[in-house]
Each structure stands twice: as C-alpha cells, then as structure tokens.
Structure 1
C-alpha cells in the first residue's frame, strides 16, 4: 500500500481511501492514478498511460484529458494547481506528491456518541463548521469566521436546503468533533468543513463537503487567492463555494432517494426523483419525469422547482419527439408559471428563460428571466448555463462564452456540464473557432453520449475543419441514437438568429444529414 497526502492506494484490492474513507472512482481513473503513483520517479508519457489504462487501444486526446481531470478531482487536485499530478507539455505526466510505503493503515477517527441529538429534518440539511485558521497569526480568526458566515448566508438562499444557523454551528469552534457526531447532534445530512491559511498577500482555503451519515466526501475544493481586498475576496470565495456545492448536494440527494424511496412522496421528493430525467434533455427520459412532476404540482401547484423542469421536459418532447404543438404549448405555459411562482428561485428562472427563448422565441421575456436569475445568484449553475445556451443561439457570443465558462468554473465536475460545453460549441462555431468547437463538443458527447444535439455540434465542427471521414462517422452515430434527426426539425426551436444557425446547418448538409 502507498500513502500520500492523506490518501492510501491499495493496488492489490483496487481501493483508494482518504483518511480511511473509500473514494469512489471509475476503474480507468483508478488505473491512471495507480500508474502515476507507482511510476512517481519518472515522467509517464501519453502513450505509456494509454498502454497501461486502455491496453494500447486508440484513445482520443479529450478522453485522456477527461480521465486526467477525473483523477485530479478524486485527489482534490486541479489542472490549474497541479499539486499532485503535473502536466509536462510535450513530455507527459508525473506524480509529484510525497509517497511512502507503510504496513499500518492511517488511523481512522472513531466517532464519539454525542449526548445531544436533534431529530433530522425532512429536507436536505447542512451545517457549516467554523473553518480552521491555519495561519500563524491568531488575529486572522475574524477572516476565517467572516468567510464561513458568508457561505452560510449564501446557502440559506436555497429554499430547498435547511441550513443550521451560525450560532449553532459555531459551538464546534475549537472543538474536536467527528462529522458523524455533528450530524447526529445537529440533525443534518451534510457537513461543510475547511481550513484557511493566510501568508502575506496570499490566502489558501480548502473546503470539504461530507455526508454526515457515512463520513464520505461528496465534494472537495481548494482556492488560492491574492489578498488585495479582504471583503471582495470573502464575496468571491463564498460565491465559488456556494456555486460549486449546489450540484454536489443535488446529486447526493438524488442518490439518497434512489436508495431509500418512501412509499408516500411529497412534492420535493417527487421533484428530486424527476431531476435526472428532466435535465438529460432526452425525450424518453422526459416521459419518465413528466408524471412525477405533475404529481408534485398536484400537491403544491405553485412549486416553481417543479414547473421549470416540467417546462424543460415538454421542450425536449417537442423538439426531439415529433414537434407536437401540445408539447410546445405546455412547455411555454410551465415556463411562465415558473417565472410567476419563482421570483426568488434563480435555477427555475434560468430554465424558464431557456424554454421561452427556444420555444416561444420571446427574447425580451427570456432576457428578463436571466437578468432576474443572475441578480438573485450570479453563481447559480442553471442560470448561467441556461442563459449561455440561449444567448449563444441569439448570437450574443461574448456573454454566452463568459457565462458558460463561469458555470464550468463554479461546477467543474457536474454531469450537466454538457449544457455549458454545447453553449461554447455554438459560440465557437459562430466565431469560426473550429478547433475549440470540436474540443468542447467532444467533451459534451463524453458527458451525455445519448444526447444527439451534442453529437450534432461535433459533426458540424469536424465538417468545418475539413475532417470529412470523421464528420461522416459522427453523423452516422448521430442517426443511430436519433433516427428522426433532421435540420428542419432542429431549426424550429434554435433558428433564433439566422446568422448563427445557417452556417451550422450548412456544415450538417455537407455530411448528408437529412434536411427535412
């Protein structure tokens, strides 16, 4: 077994743990980590990695990059920081963390039974513990406490989330407490903890989101910042943390409900069950989500968080399952209801604006919805990626690219990132950045291979690059997963600005994709 940076790598059992808790990774990601850690004394070339992980099969650069990014994410590393896995341009990769062999496992904290227990709430719930001040100066406690207070305030704006107040979570300040104990004592499902180190003009913050029941890490991130303006820095870090943990909480809650579905579900649970199907943008999945969302609205008619995904479901059915006018009518109807009922729900407003832009071609209403959503939360994933998609089709390229990149930065590991990559693909095609369009379209396909729209952008980019055989092959695969695809059907919703859509349509025509 090899130990590094609080991790244990057991190649024999194919197990990666952090502080004794299992880290869930895909088999290929585990193999890649094992290869780099075990070959830490040398640079591992791209070909060597492919030979070890994929048995020498042909693998695209984007597939390798995705695997590297996933490995970094599992280890709490990033492409910008490269604290453990370093990229050496034109040479390969090298593991640069300190590794040691040992027979004894890392000690695992044994939770102590707390005397006080709070009954858990029915809603997803979180406690944000005081961040540990790692600076040598104890005077920096105020800064650490201020950042945590801002995070709590940001989380409290999510109406679906129960957030323990600062006064309650700060009773753990300067106390040793196991997260399972905290979960029992405060009655919460999640605990956010972290540390702050200030040295000169630099600040490093590390945050961990933990499932209080199992002790497993749901999300981890590290931030390195310049300390030019303490208040601006607090705002920036809080916004990044809040924006990044929202999808992690959403995904964890969906997984919990799949494991423990009660016989009688309330509106919130119905919406969570529907979300993975609603946000896949697939017509078949929409058919699964629609009855769940209708049932949620029967319980709570003014529930914006149900109206918005229901609007998206009917949009998916309209645009990719026959252009049925009844679906378009319902999509627009529920989008307007989401706006009316969700004046303080940034996610609902973002999704509603997207549907109104594409299905009603009502730019003014869509832009107002986006403006309101981002005024409520400029770090909301759905507000950013939904507006980026709509704006890319409108030809507002600069803003669309900015918002898509912000969504990716705030939520780098969200499986819904294919939406942001699609917004970038449209914008890059419009601005004739065809290499960039191909790269982001390939990433989108990897994240949602069943979504014909993502593959359609890859076809267009390859066609524009003159890579005819590859474009034709991708067009064939597109028709395999969406036999009803046609340029005319696609144009009904997205032909908002002809200058954007026409060149993409011409690229599709060159590959022989059906016109009508």
Structure 2
C-alpha cells in the first residue's frame, strides 16, 4: 500500500440509463468518440492518470489541483460547444467533482476518504458543471481565472463531518490561452457577403412575406459556412424597397460581394431570380433562376434556399481563386493561403500536395487560431497519408490527429471540421467515428454539398448504397456546379447496389478516369458479361498502375460488409479475360 496527497477528479455521465435505453449503440459510440477526441487527450495534456472507469464515469488522479481544475473546465466548456446543436434528450453531459486529500494506492486502485468525498460531491454538481471542496478552492483562487461560488457546508453520505463546497462558474472562466490562439491582429481575411432583401415583383402584397422569408433563410444558411463573413440581417434590411448603388452599399457595409434577387408570381407559378455581384467592379459573377409551381410555398422556399446556399459559396470561392492568380504569394493572408492550398489539394498530384502543405502551414503560422486552416492541414496531410506520398506514415498520422484535435478545440461548430474528421476516419477504417462526425457536419450545415455527398459515400461504405445514391443525387441538385468527382461517388454507389448500367453511365461523366475508376467500370462490365469492354478497362488499369493486384486494391477500400468486398472481387475476376493477366488466385 502507498498513501499520499493527491487531487482526485470524479466524473459521471448524467442520464446514462435513459440514454442507453433510448439508443444503446449510438450512446456508446458517441461516448467513445468524446473520450477519444476530448476527454482522454485533455486528461493526458493536464498530466492526469485514469485510475478507474465504469460504464458512465471515471476516477482520475492529478498531482496538481490546478491541473485537475483546468482539465475539468476544458472538458465541460468543450462539451457545451459540442452539445450546442444536439437535441436536449440526446446530449451527453457530465457532472464533475474534485477533492484534494489523502488517498491509498493498492493493486492499481485508489481508496480512502479523499476518493469518497470526490465521488459524493460529483453527485451534487450541476449537469455540465463542476463542484469542488474548500481545499481545492483555496488552491486555485489566485492561480486560475475562474469564478468560484460558495455553496456552504454540506452533509455527504457516509461522511461524518460536513464539507464546505464550491461551484466553478464555467460562463466566466478563462483558462490560460495556448500560444498564438489570440493574435493582436488576426490575419484571416474571409470573403464578406451581404444578401439584400429580395424584391417582390408580383404586385401582390401577400408575396412580400415569401420574399422576406427567402432572404432571411438564405442569410441563415450562408451563416453556417464558416469560411464566409455574412453581413447581418439588421444591416442588409435597411435597404429594403430602396434603389441601391452596389458599390456604395458594399463600401458602407464592408462587403466584397452582394447577393440580390427578385420574386415574381405568374398564375400558379413563382419565379425566383438571384445574382451574385463582385462589389469591386459591379461585375456579375453568377446568376440563376428558379421556376416552380406554387403548390407549397414553404417547400419552394426551402428548396430554393438550399440550392442558393449550396451554390453561392462555390461561386465566391471561384471568384477568390481568380483573384489569387493576381496576388503575390508573399502578400497572401491566412484565408488566401488556405484557399490556394485547397485548390492544389483538389488537383490530386504529389507535387501539388507538397505545395499545398507548404501553403496550409503558412496559413496556420499566420493565424494559429484559424480552425479552418488546421482542419484543412489535416485533410491535405491525409491525402499524402492515403496515397503514401510521405516517408513516415506513422509520423504523418500523428500530425493529422494533432491538427484535427486543434481544429476541434478552436471551433467545434464548423461543419467543415467535422466533415474532414469524418473523411479522415473513413480512410482509417474507423467507420463508427466517421458516422458521429458526419452526423455532426450534417446537423451543422445540411445544405453543404460536400457534406451531403459525403453522407452518400459513407452510406455506400456501410452497405446502404441505395440510400447513398439518394444523398449523392441530392448533393448534385443542391450544387449544379458540383465537382466532377461527385460522378465517381455515384458510380461506386450504383456498383455497390448492383446497378451496373447506371454505374457505367456515372463514370462516363468523368473527363478522365484514374485506375480506381477504370477498375470499377471493368467490374461492371465483368458482371454484365461484356468481356471485350471489361478487358479494355482492365488494360487501362494495368497501364496506369502496372503493379496492380486485386487483393491490394481491395485493401485500400473501406467496405463494412465482406459481401461488398466479395462482390467487387468477383467482378474484377470476371473482367480478367485471357490477356496474360494472372489467374484469379494470383491476384
């Protein structure tokens, strides 16, 4: 036995039994994800040691009271952010109690009064809150900028003497910042955009609410995109029913881009026009119109809002890319470096990935508190990791994990952060974790085409390709200017659904097929019994990748069900032909 003074943190999950009864598998998966991404790293960072875990709680020892409280505050504050968009009845929330006292160590476990008191006061803490003893409060009073509320003396179960307790106020707590989190002058220069009130051209006052509602919905949806700075409704609605000068409005509101539109009712139809304008030269970057039957005006409003919100950011980004071509690299701000890095990343070559890494590193250096840049650093490094464009894959994976952890800590409500976390998790075959982050990304921005298409891709990996096809087609409808690779996702989903003709048609929309896409087309023709076409595509695979082997290829995919792996393998075997390829068992 060993006896010593230590700070003990006791944590317990509130409403555990209720959540398990409602959704046992989902609750366990979400709790595991919180532990992997937040709780365990926070304990390790603050030099804690997990002594014991139960289904819904844990005991942790810290050598320093300050470290224990810092860890507790970080966990509770970040859990608040994580739960901000989660329905109340599905939230995972914790109570935390911290005590300083003598404890006894024996056989890897801890005992004694100090442990008992920590466990008792944890039960008295608010849901999502922290309760500490007087000994803890005294130690941190002058060391941490946290508010401390005296709760008075309390009688605890099986403790003979009353114990003075204190509540840590999270709303006013400020922990020491990490270096670079809050620069005096931030170097993010996000594109700013103002959505002017849509004009009602119908001559029908009853259509006014539709025009205003459409404007407000577009504002709300665009605000979900953290890569844009959206001017508030209060500022933009000042210009309702007024003739405006684009440059004057932009200068007054500090906007680089303006969105304006109109609504016109014609019989039983409604037409909505929308255009995106570059305020610097009043040039029209993009315009579109939507004609719909007036069966359900609210459904129309939702549909048009989704389409505009999905398309506009891509048009803004395209305009920004054009401007980047005229910008000297040395003059780029963090946002511009991140944008240029994304462009290079999407080209998908070794050389472009190397350049992208350099630019995204510069974005992070210019603004260490830029969550979006940290997330995209993980994405760009992830591309190098997936394709083995790096000498030490383990070291790169550690960098990816660190970048994503930093992005989450900085902004847990950025859909792109969770989208990238889901994508990286898929590539690491952690499909349960991928599902959690994909759900978060969808809840944060349900009209983001990259999130929507990724939902379809994930469902295909999970063995639900018919649902995946619906999501991928929805992403294509949301953004008619979608990246070409959406067709590849659709082709793979149709193949998994045994819809070979539709799969081939989808792949044929690609301007150039890589070896993976040729392999899927070959497997489609193999299943259709078209030996000539199947063999032709297998030859293309061999040309692009002379060392191609079926089993190695299958190992790079992420199917959750063995039947999907066997289905693709058999299609490739059928596609082999008599052209000198190895026999099926030599693949």
TM over 0.5: yes
Structure 1 counterpart of 2:554, from 474, 484, 491: 491
CA distance in 2 between partners of 1:308 and 1:479 (Å): 35
Residue pair 2:189, 2:333 contacting (<8 A) in 1 also = no
What does 1:87-166 correspond to in 2, within 5 Å?
A: 122-166=189-233
Residue pair 2:221, 2:447 contacting (<8 A) in 1 also = no
Structure 2 counterpart of 1:454, from 496, 499, 517: 517
CA distance in 2 between partners of 1:256 and 1:216 (Å): 13
Task: Check 1:306–1:136 CA distance in 2 against 1; reply closer, same or farther (3 A cut).
Answer: same
Task: Check 1:463–1:309 CA distance in 2 against 1; reply closer, same or farther (3 A cut).
Answer: farther
- The alignment status of 1:383 with 2:451, answered yes or no, reads yes
- The alignment status of 1:369 with 2:437, answered yes or no, reads yes
Residue pair 1:458, 1:474 contacting (<8 A) in 2 also = yes
Structure having the higher strand fraction is 2
Residue pair 1:308, 1:335 contacting (<8 A) in 2 also = yes
Structure 2 counterpart of 1:463, from 526, 531, 545: 526
- Secondary structure of 2:215's match? helix
In the alignment, what sits opposite 1:241? 308
Cα shift at 1:438:
0.3
TM-score by length of 1: 0.68
Residue pair 2:494, 2:500 contacting (<8 A) in 1 also = yes
- The alignment status of 1:430 with 2:496, answered yes or no, reads yes
What does 1:24-39 correspond to in 2, within 5 Å?
A: none
Cα shift at 1:500:
1.9
In the alignment, what sits opposite 2:427? 358
TM-score by length of 2: 0.60
- Secondary structure of 1:158's match? coil
In the alignment, what sits opposite 2:572? 508
In the alignment, what sits opposite 1:345? 414
Task: Check 1:331–1:480 CA distance in 2 against 1; reply closer, same or farther (3 A cut).
Answer: farther
Q: Which runs of 5+ in 1 are unaligned?
A: 1-120
Q: Which runs of 5+ in 2 are unaligned?
A: 1-187
In the alignment, what sits opposite 2:261? 194
Q: Which has the larger radius of gyration?
A: 2
- Secondary structure of 1:263's match? helix
Q: CA RMSD in A?
A: 2.9
CA distance in 1 between partners of 2:245 and 2:487 (Å): 39
CA distance in 1 between partners of 2:316 and 2:521 (Å): 31
CA distance in 2 between partners of 1:251 and 1:278 (Å): 15
- Secondary structure of 2:305's match? helix
Aligned length: 390
What does 1:299-314 correspond to in 2, within 5 Å?
A: 299-314=366-381
CA distance in 1 between partners of 2:433 and 2:202 (Å): 49
Cα shift at 1:465:
2.9
In the alignment, what sits opposite 2:68? none
* CA deviation map 1:73-118 (0-9, x unaligned): xxxxxxxxxxxxxxxxxxxxxxxxxxxxxxxxxxxxxxxxxxxxxx
* CA deviation map 1:207-239 (0-9, x unaligned): 112222344433323223344554444333222
What does 1:143-292 correspond to in 2, within 5 Å?
A: 143-199=210-266, 201-261=268-328, 263-292=330-359
Task: Check 1:193–1:291 CA distance in 2 against 1; reply closer, same or farther (3 A cut).
Answer: same
* CA deviation map 1:373-398 (0-9, x unaligned): 11111111221122322221221223
Task: Check 1:450–1:338 CA distance in 2 against 1; reply closer, same or farther (3 A cut).
Answer: farther
Task: Check 1:400–1:284 CA distance in 2 against 1; reply closer, same or farther (3 A cut).
Answer: farther
CA distance in 2 between partners of 1:334 and 1:462 (Å): 42
Residue pair 1:338, 1:352 contacting (<8 A) in 2 also = no
Task: Check 1:262–1:341 CA distance in 2 against 1; reply closer, same or farther (3 A cut).
Answer: same
Task: Check 1:510–1:436 CA distance in 2 against 1; reply closer, same or farther (3 A cut).
Answer: same
- Secondary structure of 1:197's match? strand
CA distance in 2 between partners of 1:247 and 1:482 (Å): 33
In the alignment, what sits opposite 2:87? none
CA distance in 2 between partners of 1:364 and 1:343 (Å): 19
